[in-house]
Amino acid sequence: MTIDNNFKSNKKNYILISLIFISTFLVAQNTDYGKVSKEELLQDFNSIDSTASAAYLYKYRKTYFNYVSGVGFSLITDVHERIKIYNKEGFEYATQKIRLYKDGNEIEDLNKLKAKTYNLIDDKIEETPLKKDGKFKNEISENINEESFTMPNIKEGSIIEYKYSITSPFIYNVDEFIFQHDIPVNKIEAFFETPEYFVFRMNVKGFLNVMPKREQFNKSLDYTQRVASGGTTNAGAGQGLGRTTQVRGNVKYVSNVISFDLNNIEPLKEEPFVNELSNYRSG
Looking up residue 43, the CATH number of its domain turns out to be 2.60.40.3140
Question: What are the angstrom distances between the C-alpha of 128 and each of 94, 149, 160?
Answer: 13, 14, 9
According to the model, what pLDDT value does residue 95 have?
Answer: 98
Dihedral-angle region of residue 38 (phi above 0 means left; psi in -120 to 50 means alpha; beta otherwise): alpha
Alpha-carbon gap, residue 55 to 61, rounded angstroms: 17
* Angle ∠(99,5,142) on CA atoms, nearest 5: 30
Positions of the chain with pLDDT under 50 = 1-2, 4, 6-27, 208, 232-238, 240, 271-281, 283
| pLDDT 10s digits, 170-198 | 998 888 888 889 999 999 999 999 999 88
Give the integer Cα–Cα distance in Å for 113 and 273: 40
Domain count within the chain: 1
Q: Which domain holds residue 97?
A: 2-280
Rounded Cα–Cα distance for residues 37 and 41 (Å): 7
Which pLDDT score is estimated for 265? 92
Computed over its alpha carbons, how large is the radius of gyration of the chain?
Answer: 23
- Collect all residues with Cβ–Cβ distance below 8 Å to 172 and sequence separation of at least 6: 5, 7, 9, 11, 13
pTM listed for this prediction: 0.80
Q: Where in 6-108 does DSSP place strands (E)?
A: 54-68, 72-85, 95-103, 106-107
| CB contact set of 236 (below 8 Å; sequence gap of 6+) | none
Other C-beta atoms within 10 Å of 118: how many?
Answer: 23
Other CB atoms closer than 10 Å to residue 30's CB: what's the count? 11
Q: CB of 96 within 8 A of CB of 149?
A: yes
- For residue 7, what pLDDT is reported? 41
pLDDT at position 241, please?
A: 55
Output the pLDDT for position 31: 96
CA torsion 46-50-54-55 (nearest 10°) is -40
The predicted pLDDT at position 270 comes to 60
By the 10 Å C-beta count (0-12 exposed, 13-18 middle, 19+ buried), 163 is classed as middle
